[in-house]
């Protein structure tokens, strides 16, 4: 929900997206909660957003979802949406 970034399920964040600029360097990141232990978030205010929570794919789907389950379809969708080709640092050459 505006103005909050990321992917939300109701009032709970499922995927965080961020950009940081400083010292002439721009970095970006994405965190998709697959099978995260959500109890750790009970001790903080996630993303500094009072009254908001976090969730995971495992919690929302009611089954254990690992990163290996979602990595390939996520990367395929990323390439399609952003019209790009991803290259793994593990690829030779």
Domain boundaries, the chain: 7-82
Q: What is the pLDDT of residues 27-51, one digit of tens each?
A: 988 899 999 999 998 899 887 888 8
Residue 47: active-site member: yes
Q: Compute the half-sphere exposure of residue 5: CA atoms within 13 Å on the CB side of its CA.
A: 11
pLDDT in tens, 62-91: 999 999 999 999 999 999 999 999 988 776
pTM: 0.77
Which position among 15, 34, 35, 47 bears the catalytic label? 47
Q: Is 7 helix (H, G, I), strand (E, B) or coil?
A: strand
Closest CA to 35 of 15, 77, 2, 64: 64
Backbone angles phi, psi at 20, to 5 degrees: -130, 135
């Amino acid at each position: 929900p505006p103005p909050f970034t990321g992917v939300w399920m109701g009032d709970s964040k499922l995927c965080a997206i961020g950009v940081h600029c400083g010292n002439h360097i721009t970095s970006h990141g994405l965190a998709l909660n697959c099978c995260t232990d959500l109890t750790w978030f009970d001790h903080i205010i996630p993303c500094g957003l009072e009254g908001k929570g976090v969730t995971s794919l495992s919690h929302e789907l009611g089954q254990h979802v690992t990163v290996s389950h979602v990595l390939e379809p996520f990367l395929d969708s990323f390439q399609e949406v952003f019209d790009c080709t991803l290259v793994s640092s593990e690829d030779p050459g």
